[in-house]
A and B are shown apart, each in its own frame.
Chain A
Amino acid sequence: MDIAVLISIIVSVAVSATPLLLAATGELVVERSGVLNLGVEGMMIMGAVAGFSVAQATGNPYWGALGAIVVGALFSQLFAFLVLTLVTNQVATGLALTILGLGLSGMIGEGFVGQPGIKLEKLDIPLLSDLPVVGPLLFSLDAIFYASIALVLAVWWFLFRTKTGLMVRGVGDSHTSAHALGIPVIRIRYLAIAFGGACAGLAGAHLSLVQVPQWTEGMTSGRGWIALALVVFASWRPGRVLIGAYLFGAVTIAQFHAQASGVPIPPQFLASLPYLATIIVLVLIARNRRLTMINTPAALGQPFVPDR
């Protein structure tokens, strides 16, 4: 196989993995703060429709991406208000957010069906993109890809190297202790949820502006759920989210290549490979109880009502 084809394949993997990486990184921060938001799919699709429509209205896909971030963050605040202020059940509220997002986006996007969108073109980084092999692989992709990599690094640094990050993790492990220490539990969780929404929104915009510049109802097709699984897969560590997202992307792309080059394996089996891989890793992780205990936010999904 010649090198150009190989590069093209790896770039396809990166494109396929980017929305998963973004949404999972956002959700990781939310879960680290002790909140389980199952509304990722809903926020993602709201981001997809917002990104598409803002790009159509302004003619600039970058405004579209920004619009998706804003809409994702705002939409997540509905969830935040319900679970943090009204202390509703997080699982049920998250599911409701997904259903609402899927329906609402369909309604908003109705007029955009059948319209080709504006693609967020790849952004060549001067000089670096001219390097052989490495250039087209790493420095000649879309801006959202660069953002996703930067985001993982930033989230790692924030959670494990800053005082505020320690506070977020503390809130996620024991909100009562954090509260007793005077840490603003509710405010931190509001912000974490907003961050998660913004990331999911941007992930949606990557679908509707980069992968397939179009709006079709339900175009996220379950990617939000995969992002949720990736967070557990990664045992709440940013670096492992990166590995997980790319592994998932790679298996997805590889199975298409296997089929197209006539490898005699049933496609149904190949299609299930990414999910099988996820399950196997989850089982492996679950075997190491100590590691799981250390990384799992202890207060995940528990309601918190401050006693005054």
Chain B
Amino acid sequence: MKKTLLALAAAAAVMLPAAALADGHGKTKACFIYIGPTGDFGWTYQHDEGRKAVEAEFGDKVETAYLENVPESAEAQRPIEAFARSGCNIIFTTSFNYMDPTNKAAGKFPDVKFEHATGYKREHPNVSTYSSKFYQGRYIQGQIAAKMSTKGVAGYIASFPIPEVVRGINSFILGAQSVNPDFKLKVVWVSTWFDPPKEADAAKALIDQGVDILTQHTDSTAAMQVASERGIKAFGQASDMIKFGPKTQLTSIIDDWAPYYIERVKAVMDGTWEQQDVWHGMDHGSVKMAPYTNMPEDVAKMAAETEAKIKANEFEPFTGPITKQDGTVWLKEGEKADIGTMLSMNFYVKGVDDQLPK
């Protein structure tokens, strides 16, 4: 329904682009491409909160539009270009595999600014990339998991084997091993970002296989509910999911995109927008942690201390010594991972009980 209305709106806007821009005082239009529905209460929900924050900040000076459930394939090309034609001044494409379509569209529409989340390709001067260091939060979760688990094994519901997800898994196990060097992690790939019943099935399978802590890199609250039913603890993802597991959620990584979206839309308004590649973490407030709940005080204290250290840039999860899964040394004592390896991470570190799909 929304999609249809937007398509109609887009069609109307194509016919009247001159009218909107003629007086030079036209509104700035910020457009968003979403992978899931705004009601997923996870990844897309948080991006949409960012969009709403832009509206709240600039009032009638901006106009926003969004498209939900845009597939991560060549099909994404059409909606992105439709947005560009419809008079959007800045377009945020909020999922990894929009990378190529975004860059292609940017080549065709040099006057429109493109912002691609979680990617690394900037083939034209009007493409920026942005992401957040979610893995910082996963390190803290790993530490908590190792303290809370009685069996010493956690379950991880993963979406697709892209660097961002692999980084999260590695960071989680590194955090866990910092507390319990023998900690194990079982990974299940569900090949989707959003499919609540399937995520629930994966959660049940992991619990049946003996894990007693669940964490996820998919977008719905399904796993939290299953964990709750089965009486084990779990971590939320992207949003605070405490309502779905009041006695279950230990903490959750919260993505806060609002400051970045406001900053970039403002840059377009002021004419100061320039290409950039940002990767903010806890230090910029773009990654936050939900309250530490359902755990003893000493565990919460440890988590808060790690969080404070990461926030102050005193600690970085990917600091050596780190050994890869195959036993070779990746980082020597005290050595920090370089950004190139971080952004293209395609290997597991030691302790992950899974084979990384290629």
> How far is it, in angstroms, between the C-alpha of A100 and the C-alpha of B2 when the chains are bound?
10
Asked whether A256 lies within 8 Å of B205 as measured between CB atoms, the reply is yes
CB-defined contacts of A213 to chain B, threshold 8 Å: 225
What residue of chain A has the Cβ atom nearest to residue B245's Cβ?
A116
- Which of the four size classes fits the interface of chain B? 35 or more
Q: Is the CB of B357 within 8 A of A266?
A: yes
Given contacts A12-B205, A114-B243, A116-B225, is CB(A268)–CB(B191) below 8 Å? yes
Q: Complex formed: what's the CA distance from A256 to B202 in Å? A: 6
A221 to chain B, nearest CB (A): 4
Whether A271 touches B189, Cβ cut-off 8 Å, given contacts A16-B197, A260-B209, A262-B353, is yes
Given A218-B36, A259-B189; A211-B197 close (CB under 8 Å): yes
**Is B18 part of the binding interface, using a Cβ–Cβ cutoff of 8 Å?**
no
The size class of the interface chain A forms with chain B is: 35 or more
- Nearest first, the 7 closest Cβ-Cβ pairs linking A and B are A103-B1, A217-B37, A256-B205, A267-B189, A113-B39, A221-B195, A217-B39
A227 to chain B, nearest CB (A): 13
Q: B222's contact among A9, A109, A214, A252, by CB below 8 Å, is which?
A: A214
Q: Which residues of A contact B40 (CB under 8 A)?
A: 216-217
> Whole-angstrom distance from the CB of A23 to the nearest CB of chain B?
13
Q: How far is the CB of A245 from chain B (nearest CB, A)?
A: 14
Instruction: Tell yes or no: A292 within 8 A of B by CB.
Output: no
Find the A residue at minimum CB distance from B246.
A116
Assuming the A-B contacts A16-B201, A110-B39, A253-B205, are A219 and B196 also in contact, with contact meaning beta carbons closer than 8 angstroms in the complex?
yes
- The residues of B that contact A102 with a CB separation of less than 8 Å are 1
B-contacting residues, A1-42, CB 8 Å: 5, 8-9, 12, 16, 19
Known: A212-B199, A212-B200, A223-B197. 17 other contacts (CB 8 A): A9-B208, A12-B204, A12-B205, A100-B1, A102-B1, A113-B45, A114-B239, A119-B229, A211-B197, A216-B41, A218-B37, A219-B197, A253-B201, A253-B204, A256-B188, A256-B202, A262-B354
Inside 8 A of B221's CB, which chain A residues have their CB? Answer: 116, 212, 214, 216
**B37 near A214 (CB under 8 angstroms)?**
no
Known: A103-B1, A216-B196. Is A113-B208 also a contact (CB below 8 A)?
no
* Main SS at interface, chain A: helix
- A46 CB, nearest partner CB in chain B, Å: 12
Q: In the complex, A294 Cα to B37 Cα: how many Å?
A: 43
Q: Which residue of B lies closest to A100 (CB)?
A: B1
- Would you give the shortest CB distance from B252 to chain A, in whole angstroms? 13
Give the number of residue pairs across the A-B interface with Cβ within 8 Å. Answer: 141
Q: Report the separation of the CA atoms of residues A113 and B36 in the bound assembly, to the nearest whole angstrom.
A: 13
B199 / chain A contacts, CB cutoff of 8 Å: 212
Beta-carbon contact of B1 and A212 below 8 Å: no
Q: Are A211 and B187 in contact (CB under 8 A)?
A: no
A107 at the interface (CB under 8 A from B): yes
Let me know if A221 and B196 touch, CB within 8 A.
yes
Q: Are B1 and A109 in contact (CB under 8 A)?
A: no
Residue pair B2, A114 in contact (C-beta under 8 Å): no
A126 is an interface residue with CB less than 8 A from chain B: no
A216 to B38, CA, bound (A): 9
Q: How distant is A149 from chain B, measured CB to nearest CB, in Å? A: 19
**Residue from the list B37, B195, B239 in contact with A106, Cβ < 8 A:** B37
Q: Is A259 a contact of B36 with CB atoms below 8 Å?
A: no
A260 with B186: CB separation less than 8 A:
yes
B357 proximity list for chain A (CB < 8 A): 266-268
> Can you report 25 residue pairs joining A to B where beta carbons are below 8 Å apart?
A5-B208, A9-B205, A12-B208, A103-B3, A106-B1, A107-B2, A110-B39, A113-B38, A114-B41, A116-B225, A116-B243, A211-B197, A212-B222, A214-B196, A214-B225, A217-B38, A217-B39, A221-B198, A253-B204, A256-B201, A256-B205, A256-B206, A262-B353, A266-B357, A268-B357
Counting CB contacts under 8 A, is B328 at the interface? no
Instruction: Count chain A CB atoms within 10 A of each CB in B187, B204, B239 and give the residue with the most.
Output: B204
On whether the beta carbons of B194 and A221 are closer than 8 Å, the reply is yes
Q: Give bound CA distance, A103 to B2, whole Å.
A: 6
Contacts A106-B2, A259-B188, A271-B191; is A207 near B37 (CB within 8 Å)?
Answer: no
Report whether B355 and A264 are in contact in the complex, using a CB–CB cutoff of 8 Å: yes
B178 interface residue per 8 A CB criterion: no
Q: Return chain A residues, CB-CB under 8 Å to B150.
A: none
